[in-house]
């Protein structure tokens, strides 16, 4: 592996070995200096600000909207927005029930917070004042707030014409679960719930749109994970030719999945910009974010794990319900959530007999979207809790049980019953690595000794695999409306020999301005500082799908490598002519084409190609620009993986949890930048801790959300976090450039499993069962009380 650089400070930085170097992030300089530019920072003269009028009821007929007197021209309803083609959102599966999600409500509202009208004024405060004066006449309808109840006969319906409450019902099946059930010595059945959350990126959604008269095009600044795909969708629903629509994502302050869906507010703002002669902007505030951005998770499971007398897993069966809210967001809604949870339930274990029925259910809540980990945090939570529950029942160590059932290195590649091909790695080594890193023996000794303050110590583990960088075959298999098969890059050398990368991918916190520059620098013999990465502007960069599904390093990294190598070949051809040698006798380093002791600088080559074409070889055209698309040869995905270990101290009286230690032993193949990988893992773990212990949007019986500010929706802050320690195993993928695998989501997948297993471990002898995230103090005390009650009624009975 390449030598490690920690900084790239000056002219003395090397020009080789950038793949694998812990370079500080280039983009952080502007962010730390407060010089970033987000949608809210964009200054376009005469911009007016928007506030939305939202439904305060969860389900109602919309009878009418009354505009305040004298301000009618500043208030817009669905009827004022002009023609809009409603997009079909959801998979291309006949059984999926499509819904129309109008940007402003038409005739019916289906969740509290749905957009009804928009108000425009000189400032946001004035627009909000106006919004307060708009009258919304609603006639309430029966409300559905529970996904399991929604599927019962006679339940109220979100859509009158549907025969039941589900967008879609399906099943993931394989092998013979009935036979497994018959052979089982142990059949452990449990129910679990993972709460509704939202992504809570630092920057909420934001959109600014105006008509550029000179270019005769609509310009849209948008905080998005994928500007090209958003342009496609906006062009389609607003009937604007794509060459007349430019979508620019400036700095994007995180997305975590939520900004990978086109939402009604964004469509409404752009639709309005079509018809007014001033720029309009909407910036989502925190309350709107928690109320009405893409929500996430809210899974319910009823699962039985069958095992023989030695604890060998035989089969898995049960049901998964996903509460998908009231509508589907373009392109695919939340359809993947339930089936993906079902496909991922067996985890890394040898389970070939499986039957999981899954339901994607409509309720009167904000629509569901993807959130870091998509479905897998739920699946991992459930299977990893089940492993511990079975181990407790058998009276053995859960890590022994994992070792007995986990796929070994020799068994890879291994095709799961969910038809995913786990490619390379050493899963048992990761389990062992986590045991060592967390210092399991010392934790057990402390646990045995007891705490002076009466708190209980618990140690928990969870393992996951993360499908990353999957392409055409996998998305086609899922019947996805958009098949993100590849990424693209233009590598362009400027006349002075520096390099510009134009990429279709969209970095929104992942540090790709650094890692992609590292790859080009590595291939071309430059320093990352000599490479500029441009993304996020459909007017400049080639088409790309954007950043999600931990795909960027595999896809965009591959495209950068490929186009940079193509350019390297051209540089060698020109350099060879200038050096009067054969191209095969040249190498690239230190910003030069070298041959023997001679060298010609990229600046000289740049000059020759741009303004002195008489110096070029006859068969080489003067364009120092190479374009490439890239998709790995295997498109089912490269699987990274990790074991997470958590140590908790829990107060048995108050249920308060302190995370004493957290360790991750992960493998994402070759790392382009280990420092960034560490950051990705730690950020993900922090969000996973939020899922495990804090974050939740509960709803009351009328469908009113009970958490709409950060006072009620709790996020983990620095004081709640332990030092997160990360150990890397490196098993390169065999089918990606440099052997990389994605890592962006993994950190968020395992914490609920590891932490709740740790809480369960702390109270193992009580028989208390912890089955819900967030595992709040109240829920912990309730589980302990329930176990005590069960125990005493047992004693009475006995
Ligand atoms: N990387 C690397 N070596 C590897 C793998 C990754 O150096 N073997 C680096 C990459 O170069 C990139 C970063 O790590 O700079 C993440 O790469 P990758 O795993 O390919 O993930 P993506 O770039 O596709 O990011 C998407 C992923 C997802 S799906 C969510 S959700 C998420 C996440 O990344 N949202 C984020 N990380 C986030 N980080 C921030 N700060 N903000 C978000 O919104």
Rounded to the nearest angstrom, the distance between the alpha carbon of 512 and the centre of ligand 1 is 8
For residues 412 and 427, give the distance between their C-alpha atoms in angstroms, rounded to a whole number.
10
Residue 741 reports pLDDT greater than 70:
yes
Q: Is the CB of 510 under 6 A from ligand 1?
A: yes
Using N-to-C axis directions, what is the helix angle for 398-405 and 376-394, rounded to 10°? Answer: 110
Residue 601: its H or E element: strand 598-601
Residue 2 reports pLDDT greater than 60:
no
For residues 574 and 566, give the distance between their C-alpha atoms in angstroms, rounded to a whole number.
13
Residue % of the chain over a pLDDT of 70: 97
State whether the Cα torsion 273-277-283-287 is positive or negative: negative
Residue 795 reports pLDDT greater than 90:
no
Assign residue 95 a region: left if phi > 0, alpha if psi is -120 to 50, beta otherwise?
alpha
SS3 of residue 40 by DSSP: helix
Reference 481, options 295, 328, 297; nearest CA is 328
pLDDT digit string (tens) for 649-663?
999 999 999 999 999
Report whether 57 contacts 138 (CB < 8 A).
Answer: yes
Predicted pLDDT of residue 333: 82
User: Which residues neighbour 270 within 8 Å (Cβ) at sequence distance 6 or greater?
Assistant: 207, 209, 218, 220, 234, 238
* Minimum-distance ligand 1 atom for the alpha carbon of 225: 44
pLDDT digit string (tens) for 248-296?
999 999 999 999 999 999 999 999 999 999 999 999 999 999 999 999 9
Rounded to the nearest angstrom, the distance between the alpha carbon of 283 and the centre of ligand 1 is 25
- Tell me the pLDDT band of 794, cut-offs 50, 70 and 90: low
Place of tokens 């996998």: 474
For residues 583 and 371, give the distance between their C-alpha atoms in angstroms, rounded to a whole number.
49
Strands 354-361 and 313-323: parallel
Residue 153 reports pLDDT greater than 90:
yes
Residue 273 in tokens: 């910009």
Reference 371, options 172, 514, 504, 194; nearest CA is 194
Using N-to-C axis directions, what is the helix angle for 674-689 and 751-762, rounded to 10°? Answer: 50
Predicted pLDDT of residue 722: 96
Reference 340, options 314, 367, 368; nearest CA is 368
Report whether 392 contacts 768 (CB < 8 A).
Answer: no
SS3 of residue 235 by DSSP: helix
State whether the Cα torsion 431-432-436-441 is positive or negative: positive
Predicted pLDDT of residue 12: 54
- Residue to mutate, 550, 637, 690, 749, ligand 1, most ligand atoms under 8 Å from C-beta: 550
Which residues are registered as beta bridge partners of 485? none
For residues 377 and 691, give the distance between their C-alpha atoms in angstroms, rounded to a whole number.
9
Predicted pLDDT of residue 332: 87
**φ, ψ at 630 (rounded to 5°):** -145, 135
What mean pLDDT do residues 481-493 have?
Answer: 96
For residues 572 and 67, give the distance between their C-alpha atoms in angstroms, rounded to a whole number.
68
Q: Is the CB of 555 under 6 A from ligand 1?
A: no
Place of tokens 């020799």: 410
Reference 657, options 777, 795, 520; nearest CA is 777
pLDDT digit string (tens) for 686-724?
999 999 999 999 999 999 999 999 999 999 999 999 999
For residues 140 and 53, give the distance between their C-alpha atoms in angstroms, rounded to a whole number.
17
- Tell me the pLDDT band of 336, cut-offs 50, 70 and 90: confident
User: Which residues neighbour 32 within 8 Å (Cβ) at sequence distance 6 or greater?
Assistant: none
Rounded to the nearest angstrom, the distance between the alpha carbon of 462 and the centre of ligand 1 is 21
For residues 748 and 295, give the distance between their C-alpha atoms in angstroms, rounded to a whole number.
16
Range of lowest pLDDT (179-183, 479-483, 694-698): 479-483
User: Which residues neighbour 333 within 8 Å (Cβ) at sequence distance 6 or greater?
Assistant: 89, 90, 91, 167, 324, 327, 367, 368
For residues 16 and 70, give the distance between their C-alpha atoms in angstroms, rounded to a whole number.
67
By the 10 Å C-beta count (0-12 exposed, 13-18 middle, 19+ buried), 410 is classed as: exposed
Range of lowest pLDDT (21-30, 197-206, 283-292, 334-343): 334-343
Q: Atom 14, ligand 1: which residue's CA is nearest?
A: 677
Report whether 378 contacts 455 (CB < 8 A).
Answer: no
Residue-by-residue DSSP string for 504-527: SS--SSS-HHHHHHHHHHHHHT--
Report whether 203 contacts 249 (CB < 8 A).
Answer: no
Residue 792 reports pLDDT greater than 90:
no
Rounded to the nearest angstrom, the distance between the alpha carbon of 676 and the centre of ligand 1 is 8
* Minimum-distance ligand 1 atom for the alpha carbon of 677: 14
For residues 428 and 409, give the distance between their C-alpha atoms in angstroms, rounded to a whole number.
8
Predicted pLDDT of residue 708: 96
For residues 263 and 332, give the distance between their C-alpha atoms in angstroms, rounded to a whole number.
12
Rounded to the nearest angstrom, the distance between the alpha carbon of 403 and the centre of ligand 1 is 29
Predicted pLDDT of residue 566: 98
For residues 193 and 377, give the distance between their C-alpha atoms in angstroms, rounded to a whole number.
11
Rounded to the nearest angstrom, the distance between the alpha carbon of 686 and the centre of ligand 1 is 15
* Minimum-distance ligand 1 atom for the alpha carbon of 674: 7
Predicted pLDDT of residue 14: 63
Residue 8 reports pLDDT greater than 60:
no
Residue 215 in tokens: 């270019």
Residue 42 in tokens: 């964009």
Report whether 634 contacts 700 (CB < 8 A).
Answer: no
For residues 266 and 274, give the distance between their C-alpha atoms in angstroms, rounded to a whole number.
13
Residue 662: its H or E element: strand 657-667
**φ, ψ at 763 (rounded to 5°):** -120, 30
Residue 160 in tokens: 């009158």
Place of tokens 């600044």: 221
Rounded to the nearest angstrom, the distance between the alpha carbon of 647 and the centre of ligand 1 is 27
Which residues are registered as beta bridge partners of 438? none
Report the chain's mean pLDDT, rounded to a whole number: 95
Residues listed for the chain: 798
Sheet containing 772-773, strands listed edge to edge, beginning at the edge strand earlier in sequence:
166-174, 354-361, 313-323, 295-307, 186-198, 772-773
Residue 608 reports pLDDT greater than 80:
yes
Q: Is the CB of 677 under 6 A from ligand 1?
A: yes
Reference 491, options 532, 446, 435, 536; nearest CA is 532
Higher-pLDDT residue of 438 and 13 is: 438
Residue-by-residue DSSP string for 319-376: EEEEE--S-PPBTTTTHHHHHHHHHHTTTTB----EEEEEEEE--SSPPB---TTTTH
Q: What is the DSSP letter of 646?
A: E
Which residues are registered as beta bridge partners of 592? 589, 601
Q: Atom 33, ligand 1: which residue's CA is nearest?
A: 744
For residues 741 and 752, give the distance between their C-alpha atoms in angstroms, rounded to a whole number.
23
Residue 302 reports pLDDT greater than 90:
yes
Q: What would the 3-class secondary structure string for 153-190 be? A: CCCCCCCCCCCCCEEEEEEEEECCHHHHHHHCCEEEEE
What mean pLDDT do residues 497-517 have?
Answer: 97
Residue 135 reports pLDDT greater than 50:
yes
Rounded to the nearest angstrom, the distance between the alpha carbon of 260 and the centre of ligand 1 is 14
pLDDT digit string (tens) for 345-377?
999 999 999 999 999 999 999 999 999 999 999
Q: What is the DSSP letter of 69?
A: T
- The Cα-based distances of 106 to 64, 85, 776 in angstroms read 10, 14, 39
Predicted pLDDT of residue 4: 47
Q: Is the CB of 551 under 6 A from ligand 1?
A: yes
Predicted pLDDT of residue 337: 92
Report whether 274 contacts 310 (CB < 8 A).
Answer: no
Using only C-alpha atoms, what is the Rg of the chain? Answer: 28
By the 10 Å C-beta count (0-12 exposed, 13-18 middle, 19+ buried), 164 is classed as: middle
Residue 797 reports pLDDT greater than 70:
no
pLDDT digit string (tens) for 384-418?
999 999 999 999 999 999 999 999 999 999 999 99
Residue 7 reports pLDDT greater than 90:
no
Rounded to the nearest angstrom, the distance between the alpha carbon of 745 and the centre of ligand 1 is 7
For residues 5 and 725, give the distance between their C-alpha atoms in angstroms, rounded to a whole number.
21
Q: Is the CB of 548 under 6 A from ligand 1?
A: yes
**φ, ψ at 759 (rounded to 5°):** -65, -45
Residue 678 in tokens: 């560490």
Q: Atom 5, ligand 1: which residue's CA is nearest?
A: 742
Q: Atom 40, ligand 1: which residue's CA is nearest?
A: 509
Place of tokens 């994607």: 360
User: Which residues neighbour 158 within 8 Å (Cβ) at sequence distance 6 or greater?
Assistant: 59, 110, 144, 150, 165, 326, 362, 363, 364
For residues 258 and 368, give the distance between their C-alpha atoms in angstroms, rounded to a whole number.
9
């Amino acid at each position: 592996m390449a030598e490690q650089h920690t900084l790239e400070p000056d002219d003395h930085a090397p020009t080789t070995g950038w793949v694998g170097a812990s370079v500080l992030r280039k983009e952080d300089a502007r962010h730390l200096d407060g010089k970033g530019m987000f949608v809210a920072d964009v200054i376009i003269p005469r911009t007016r600000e928007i506030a939305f009028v939202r439904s305060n009821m969860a389900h109602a007929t919309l009878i009418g909207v009354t505009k305040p007197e004298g301000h009618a021209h500043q208030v817009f309803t669905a009827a004022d927005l002009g023609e809009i083609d409603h997009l079909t959102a959801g998979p291309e599966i006949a059984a999926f029930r499509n819904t129309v999600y109008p940007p402003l409500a038409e005739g019916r509202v289906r969740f509290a917070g749905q957009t009804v009208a928009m108000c425009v004024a000189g400032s946001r405060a004035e627009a909000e004042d106006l919004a307060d004066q708009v009258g919304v006449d609603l006639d309430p309808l029966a409300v559905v707030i529970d996904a399991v109840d929604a599927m019962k006969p006679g339940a109220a319906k979100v859509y009158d014409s549907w025969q039941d409450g589900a967008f879609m019902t399906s099943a993931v099946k394989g092998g013979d679960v009935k036979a497994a059930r018959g052979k089982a010595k142990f059949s452990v059945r449990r129910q679990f719930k993972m709460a509704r959350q939202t992504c809570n990126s630092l920057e909420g959604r934001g959109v600014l749109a105006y008509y550029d008269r000179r270019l005769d095009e609509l310009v849209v600044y948008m905080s998005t994970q994928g500007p090209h795909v958003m342009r496609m969708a906006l062009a389609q629903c607003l009937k604007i030719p794509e060459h007349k629509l430019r979508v620019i994502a400036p700095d994007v302050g995180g997305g975590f999945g939520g900004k990978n869906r086109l939402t009604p507010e964004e469509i409404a703002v752009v639709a309005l910009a079509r018809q007014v002669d001033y720029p309009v902007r909407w910036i989502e505030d925190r309350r709107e974010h928690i109320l009405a951005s893409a929500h996430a998770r809210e899974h319910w499971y009823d699962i039985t794990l069958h095992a023989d007398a030695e604890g060998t897993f035989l089969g898995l069966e049960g049901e998964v319900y996903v509460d998908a809210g009231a509508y589907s967001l373009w392109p695919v809604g939340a359809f993947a959530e339930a089936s993906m949870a079902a496909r991922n339930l067996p985890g890394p274990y040898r389970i070939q007999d499986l039957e999981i029925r899954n339901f994607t259910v409509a309720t009167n809540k904000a629509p569901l979207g993807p959130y870091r980990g998509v479905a897998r945090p739920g699946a991992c939570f459930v299977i990893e809790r089940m492993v511990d529950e079975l181990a407790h029942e058998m009276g053995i160590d859960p890590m022994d049980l994992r070792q007995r059932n986990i796929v070994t290195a020799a068994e890879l590649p291994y095709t799961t019953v969910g038809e995913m091909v786990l490619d390379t790695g050493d899963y048992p080594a990761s389990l062992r690595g986590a045991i060592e890193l967390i210092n399991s023996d010392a934790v057990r000794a402390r646990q045995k000794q007891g705490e002076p303050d009466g708190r209980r110590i618990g140690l928990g583990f969870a393992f996951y695999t993360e499908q990353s960088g999957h392409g055409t075959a996998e998305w086609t298999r899922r019947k996805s409306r958009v098949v993100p098969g590849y990424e693209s890059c233009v590598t362009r050398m400027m006349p002075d020999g520096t390099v510009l990368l134009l990429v279709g991918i969209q970095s929104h916190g992942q540090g790709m301005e650094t890692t992609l520059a590292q790859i080009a620098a590595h291939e071309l013999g430059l320093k990352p500082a000599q490479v500029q990465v441009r993304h996020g502007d459909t007017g400049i960069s080639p088409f790309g799908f954007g950043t999600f599904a931990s795909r960027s390093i595999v896809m965009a990294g591959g495209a950068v490598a490929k186009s940079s190598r193509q350019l390297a070949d051209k540089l060698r051809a020109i350099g060879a002519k200038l050096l009067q040698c054969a191209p095969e006798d040249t190498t690239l380093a230190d910003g030069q084409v070298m041959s023997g002791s001679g060298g010609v600088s990229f600046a000289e080559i740049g000059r020759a190609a741009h303004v002195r074409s008489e110096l070029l070889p006859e068969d080489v055209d003067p364009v120092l620009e190479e374009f490439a698309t890239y998709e790995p040869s295997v498109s089912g995905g490269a699987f990274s993986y990790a074991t997470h270990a958590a140590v908790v101290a829990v107060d048995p009286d108050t249920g308060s949890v302190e995370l004493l230690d957290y360790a991750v032993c992960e493998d994402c193949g070759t790392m382009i930048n280990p420092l960034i990988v560490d950051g990705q893992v730690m950020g993900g773990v922090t969000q996973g801790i939020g899922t495990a212990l804090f974050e939740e949007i509960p709803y009351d019986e009328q469908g009113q959300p009970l958490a709409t500010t950060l006072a009620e929706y709790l996020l983990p802050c620095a004081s709640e976090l332990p030092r997160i320690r990360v150990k890397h195993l490196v098993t390169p993928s065999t089918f990606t450039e440099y052997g990389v695998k994605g890592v962006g989501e993994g950190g968020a997948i395992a914490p609920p499993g590891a932490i709740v297993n740790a809480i369960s471990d702390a109270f193992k002898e009580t028989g208390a069962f912890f089955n819900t995230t967030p595992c709040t103090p109240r829920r912990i005390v309730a589980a302990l009380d329930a176990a005590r009650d069960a125990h005493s009624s047992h004693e009475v009975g006995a």
